[in-house]
Protein backbone atom coordinates (compact mmCIF):
# COMPACT_ATOMS: atom_id res chain seq x y z
CA UNK A 1 0.00 0.00 0.00
CA UNK A 2 1.30 3.47 -0.87
CA UNK A 3 2.08 5.91 1.93
CA UNK A 4 -0.60 8.59 2.27
CA UNK A 5 0.08 9.91 5.77
CA UNK A 6 3.31 11.00 7.48
CA UNK A 7 3.14 11.24 11.26
CA UNK A 8 5.82 12.63 13.54
CA UNK A 9 6.60 12.44 17.20
CA UNK A 10 7.09 15.97 18.52
CA UNK A 11 9.72 16.26 21.25
CA UNK A 12 13.20 15.35 20.08
CA UNK A 13 11.89 14.63 16.58
CA UNK A 14 10.55 17.95 15.28
CA UNK A 15 11.40 20.06 18.33
CA UNK A 16 14.81 20.30 19.98
CA UNK A 17 14.29 19.28 23.62
CA UNK A 18 17.79 20.44 24.56
CA UNK A 19 17.08 24.00 23.48
CA UNK A 20 15.55 25.14 26.78
CA UNK A 21 18.64 24.32 28.84
CA UNK A 22 21.02 25.75 26.21
CA UNK A 23 19.10 29.00 25.89
CA UNK A 24 18.82 29.46 29.65
CA UNK A 25 22.52 28.69 30.11
CA UNK A 26 23.42 31.45 27.63
CA UNK A 27 21.64 34.10 29.70
CA UNK A 28 23.62 36.36 32.06
CA UNK A 29 24.11 35.00 35.57
CA UNK A 30 23.59 31.36 34.61
CA UNK A 31 27.17 30.19 35.13
CA UNK A 32 26.14 27.24 37.31
CA UNK A 33 23.77 25.99 34.63
CA UNK A 34 26.32 26.61 31.88
CA UNK A 35 28.62 24.06 33.49
CA UNK A 36 26.02 21.28 33.32
CA UNK A 37 23.38 22.33 30.77
CA UNK A 38 23.74 19.25 28.59
CA UNK A 39 23.72 16.93 31.60
CA UNK A 40 20.60 18.59 32.97
CA UNK A 41 18.85 18.39 29.59
CA UNK A 42 19.65 14.68 29.30
CA UNK A 43 18.44 13.90 32.82
CA UNK A 44 15.30 15.95 32.27
CA UNK A 45 14.40 14.15 29.05
CA UNK A 46 15.16 10.68 30.42
CA UNK A 47 13.05 11.16 33.54
CA UNK A 48 10.24 12.69 31.49
CA UNK A 49 10.14 9.51 29.39
CA UNK A 50 10.58 7.12 32.31
CA UNK A 51 7.74 8.72 34.22
CA UNK A 52 5.46 8.45 31.17
CA UNK A 53 6.26 4.72 30.80
CA UNK A 54 5.67 4.04 34.50
CA UNK A 55 2.38 5.89 34.45
CA UNK A 56 1.28 3.94 31.38
CA UNK A 57 2.08 0.66 33.13
CA UNK A 58 0.31 1.59 36.37
CA UNK A 59 -2.64 3.31 34.69
CA UNK A 60 -1.94 6.56 36.52
CA UNK A 61 -2.20 8.97 33.60
CA UNK A 62 -1.57 12.66 34.09
CA UNK A 63 -1.01 15.51 31.66
CA UNK A 64 2.43 15.48 30.07
CA UNK A 65 3.09 18.90 31.54
CA UNK A 66 3.05 17.35 35.01
CA UNK A 67 5.47 14.64 33.90
CA UNK A 68 7.67 17.35 32.39
CA UNK A 69 7.77 19.32 35.64
CA UNK A 70 8.48 16.20 37.69
CA UNK A 71 11.33 15.27 35.36
CA UNK A 72 12.84 18.73 35.62
CA UNK A 73 12.64 18.71 39.41
CA UNK A 74 14.55 15.42 39.49
CA UNK A 75 17.15 16.75 37.05
CA UNK A 76 17.63 19.97 39.00
CA UNK A 77 18.21 18.04 42.21
CA UNK A 78 20.57 15.62 40.45
CA UNK A 79 22.69 18.52 39.14
CA UNK A 80 22.56 20.48 42.40
CA UNK A 81 20.49 23.32 40.95
CA UNK A 82 17.28 22.68 42.86
CA UNK A 83 17.87 25.68 45.12
CA UNK A 84 17.10 28.15 42.31
CA UNK A 85 13.30 28.42 41.83
CA UNK A 86 13.69 31.23 39.29
CA UNK A 87 15.80 28.96 37.09
CA UNK A 88 13.13 26.27 37.30
CA UNK A 89 10.45 28.69 36.12
CA UNK A 90 12.67 29.95 33.30
CA UNK A 91 13.36 26.44 32.01
CA UNK A 92 9.69 25.56 32.11
CA UNK A 93 8.77 28.73 30.23
CA UNK A 94 11.34 27.99 27.53
CA UNK A 95 9.91 24.49 27.07
CA UNK A 96 6.79 26.08 25.61
CA UNK A 97 8.92 27.76 22.94
CA UNK A 98 11.19 24.96 21.74
CA UNK A 99 12.75 25.56 18.35
CA UNK A 100 12.30 23.16 15.46
CA UNK A 101 15.35 21.43 14.00
CA UNK A 102 16.71 23.32 11.01
CA UNK A 103 15.51 20.83 8.39
CA UNK A 104 11.92 20.57 9.64
CA UNK A 105 10.25 23.38 7.68
CA UNK A 106 11.59 22.39 4.26
CA UNK A 107 10.96 18.70 4.92
CA UNK A 108 7.31 19.27 5.87
CA UNK A 109 6.79 21.58 2.90
CA UNK A 110 8.09 18.86 0.56
CA UNK A 111 5.66 16.34 2.06
CA UNK A 112 2.70 18.67 1.61
CA UNK A 113 3.77 19.44 -1.96
CA UNK A 114 3.74 15.68 -2.60
CA UNK A 115 0.14 15.48 -1.38
CA UNK A 116 0.81 13.78 1.95
CA UNK A 117 -1.31 14.09 5.06
CA UNK A 118 0.98 15.32 7.84
CA UNK A 119 0.49 15.20 11.59
CA UNK A 120 2.08 15.17 15.00
CA UNK A 121 1.30 12.26 17.35
CA UNK A 122 2.74 13.09 20.74
CA UNK A 123 2.67 12.40 24.46
CA UNK A 124 2.50 16.17 24.86
CA UNK A 125 -0.66 17.79 26.14
CA UNK A 126 -2.60 19.91 23.61
CA UNK A 127 -1.61 23.26 25.10
CA UNK A 128 2.09 22.32 25.21
CA UNK A 129 1.99 21.17 21.60
CA UNK A 130 0.14 24.30 20.51
CA UNK A 131 2.87 26.42 22.09
CA UNK A 132 5.67 24.56 20.33
CA UNK A 133 3.85 24.49 16.97
CA UNK A 134 3.06 28.21 17.15
CA UNK A 135 6.50 29.35 18.31
CA UNK A 136 8.32 27.23 15.72
CA UNK A 137 5.98 28.14 12.88
CA UNK A 138 5.49 24.58 11.62
CA UNK A 139 1.71 24.60 11.83
CA UNK A 140 1.15 25.72 8.22
CA UNK A 141 2.39 22.34 7.01
CA UNK A 142 0.52 20.14 9.50
CA UNK A 143 -2.99 18.76 9.03
CA UNK A 144 -3.42 17.62 12.62
CA UNK A 145 -1.78 17.68 16.04
CA UNK A 146 -2.81 14.57 17.95
CA UNK A 147 -2.26 14.27 21.70
CA UNK A 148 -2.40 11.14 23.84
CA UNK A 149 -4.49 13.16 26.26
CA UNK A 150 -7.49 12.17 24.13
CA UNK A 151 -7.02 8.49 25.01
CA UNK A 152 -5.52 8.91 28.49
CA UNK A 153 -2.38 6.79 28.12
CA UNK A 154 1.16 7.41 26.92
CA UNK A 155 2.99 5.80 24.01
CA UNK A 156 3.71 3.10 23.05
CA UNK A 157 0.17 1.94 23.93
CA UNK A 158 -1.62 0.70 20.82
CA UNK A 159 -4.61 2.95 21.49
CA UNK A 160 -2.33 5.92 20.85
CA UNK A 161 -1.37 4.69 17.38
CA UNK A 162 -5.07 4.00 16.70
CA UNK A 163 -5.59 7.76 16.71
CA UNK A 164 -3.94 8.11 13.30
CA UNK A 165 -6.40 5.84 11.52
CA UNK A 166 -9.30 7.41 13.38
CA UNK A 167 -8.26 10.88 12.22
CA UNK A 168 -7.27 10.18 8.62
CA UNK A 169 -9.27 7.07 7.76
CA UNK A 170 -6.11 5.25 6.68
CA UNK A 171 -4.81 1.76 7.34
CA UNK A 172 -1.54 1.23 9.25
CA UNK A 173 0.37 0.28 6.09
CA UNK A 174 -0.45 3.70 4.60
CA UNK A 175 1.37 5.48 7.44
CA UNK A 176 5.01 6.52 7.71
CA UNK A 177 5.70 7.15 11.38
CA UNK A 178 8.83 9.08 12.37
CA UNK A 179 10.32 9.34 15.86
CA UNK A 180 13.65 10.18 17.47
CA UNK A 181 12.83 7.60 20.15
CA UNK A 182 13.91 4.12 19.15
CA UNK A 183 11.33 2.53 21.45
CA UNK A 184 8.57 4.64 19.86
CA UNK A 185 9.60 3.74 16.31
CA UNK A 186 9.75 0.08 17.37
CA UNK A 187 6.33 0.23 19.02
CA UNK A 188 4.83 1.82 15.93
CA UNK A 189 6.48 -0.80 13.70
CA UNK A 190 4.93 -3.53 15.82
CA UNK A 191 1.58 -1.81 15.40
CA UNK A 192 1.91 -1.97 11.61
CA UNK A 193 3.22 1.45 10.60
CA UNK A 194 6.21 1.84 8.34
CA UNK A 195 8.66 3.56 10.67
CA UNK A 196 11.74 5.74 10.72
CA UNK A 197 14.00 6.16 13.73
CA UNK A 198 15.76 9.54 13.62
CA UNK A 199 18.85 8.53 15.55
CA UNK A 200 20.55 11.89 15.99
CA UNK A 201 22.84 10.60 18.76
CA UNK A 202 24.03 7.47 16.96
CA UNK A 203 22.71 5.20 19.72
CA UNK A 204 22.53 1.39 19.46
CA UNK A 205 19.20 -0.04 18.36
CA UNK A 206 16.82 -1.06 21.14
CA UNK A 207 16.39 -4.79 21.77
CA UNK A 208 12.63 -4.98 21.28
CA UNK A 209 10.26 -7.38 19.48
CA UNK A 210 9.89 -4.99 16.51
CA UNK A 211 12.48 -2.68 14.99
CA UNK A 212 12.34 0.50 12.89
CA UNK A 213 12.31 -0.05 9.14
CA UNK A 214 14.70 2.83 8.42
CA UNK A 215 17.30 4.64 10.52
CA UNK A 216 18.35 8.21 9.64
CA UNK A 217 20.53 10.82 11.32
CA UNK A 218 18.07 13.67 10.66
CA UNK A 219 14.77 14.40 8.90
CA UNK A 220 16.08 15.79 5.62
CA UNK A 221 15.43 12.77 3.41
CA UNK A 222 12.04 11.75 4.83
CA UNK A 223 10.20 12.88 1.67
CA UNK A 224 12.43 10.64 -0.45
CA UNK A 225 10.97 7.62 1.34
CA UNK A 226 7.46 8.23 0.02
CA UNK A 227 8.10 9.46 -3.53
On whether the CB atoms of residues 143 and 19 are closer than 8 A, the answer is no
- Residue 9 catalytic? yes
Q: Which of 9, 143, 173, 206 is catalytic?
A: 9
| Cα(92)–Cα(210) distance, integer angstroms | 34
| Cα(10)–Cα(144) distance, integer angstroms | 12
Catalytic (active-site) positions: 9
Amino acid sequence: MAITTCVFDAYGTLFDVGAAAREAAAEPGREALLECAQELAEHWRLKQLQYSWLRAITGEYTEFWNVTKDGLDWALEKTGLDGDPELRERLLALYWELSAYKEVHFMLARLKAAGMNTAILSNGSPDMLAGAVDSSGVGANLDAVLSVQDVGIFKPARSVYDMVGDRFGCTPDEVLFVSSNGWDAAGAAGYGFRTVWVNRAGDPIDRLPAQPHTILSDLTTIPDLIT
